[in-house]
């Protein structure tokens, strides 16, 4: 039995279920789903694409507060992320993000200050980006059913 804590919110469980050859559905205990598969399959994300999307989303969420304070709650932002895989080593040696914002209502000095603040915010609190930059230990346990 799991140890009970004083926190009333259980941590989110994440898993994938195989739905076909090189096709999976990613799920969360909060009811979210994402379709995952090979690059040639329509309507799915590859695992590498999900990694890139997680990075872009984390950067966006990490910059949301300073941007909304200065641009208003309804500002538009798009974060594009790219990076080719090194198939010989099966890694992404570099991921590049571009945050697209309309800062035309701010003067040049205010724009520079806001960009610097956004960069500091993302560097400080984007867990995905910080993890990728630092590297992380990954373990795999194969649980066998008897």
The beta-strand segments (E) located in the chain are 14-20, 23-28, 33-37, 77-82, 96-101
Asked if residue 75 lies in contact with residue 101, where contact means CB atoms within 8 angstroms, the answer is yes
**pLDDT the model gives residue 9:** 79
**pLDDT the model gives residue 146:** 81
Asked if residue 30 lies in contact with residue 12, where contact means CB atoms within 8 angstroms, the answer is yes
**pLDDT the model gives residue 97:** 98
Distance between CA atoms of residues 45 and 43, nearest Å: 7
Residues across the chain: 146
Is CATH 1.10.10.10 the right assignment for the domain spanning 46-133? no
Domain ranges of the chain: 13-45, 46-133
**pLDDT the model gives residue 2:** 45
**pLDDT the model gives residue 10:** 85
**pLDDT the model gives residue 1:** 44
The whole-number mean pLDDT for each consecutive block of 10 residues of the chain, a chain of 146 residues, reads 56 96 96 96 96 98 97 97 96 97 97 98 97 96 92
**pLDDT the model gives residue 5:** 46
**pLDDT the model gives residue 4:** 46
The beta-strand segments (E) located in 21-144 are 23-28, 33-37, 77-82, 96-101
Distance between CA atoms of residues 52 and 46, nearest Å: 10
Q: What is the DSSP letter of 86?
A: B
Distance between CA atoms of residues 108 and 105, nearest Å: 10
**pLDDT the model gives residue 8:** 65
């Amino acid at each position: 039995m799991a140890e009970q804590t004083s926190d009333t919110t259980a941590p989110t469980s994440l898993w994938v279920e195989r739905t076909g050859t090189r096709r999976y559905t990613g799920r969360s205990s909060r009811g979210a789903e994402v379709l995952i598969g090979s690059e040639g399959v329509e309507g799915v994300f590859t695992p590498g694409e999900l990694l890139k999307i997680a990075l872009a989303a984390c950067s966006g969420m990490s910059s949301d507060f300073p941007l909304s304070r200065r641009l208003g709650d309804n500002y538009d932002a798009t974060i594009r992320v790219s990076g080719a895989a090194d198939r010989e080593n099966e890694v992404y040696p570099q991921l590049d993000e571009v945050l697209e914002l309309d800062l035309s209502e701010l003067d040049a000095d205010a724009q520079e200050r806001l960009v610097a603040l956004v960069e500091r915010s993302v560097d400080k609190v984007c867990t995905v980006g910080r993890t990728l930059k630092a590297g992380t230990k990954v373990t795999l346990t194969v649980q066998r059913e008897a």
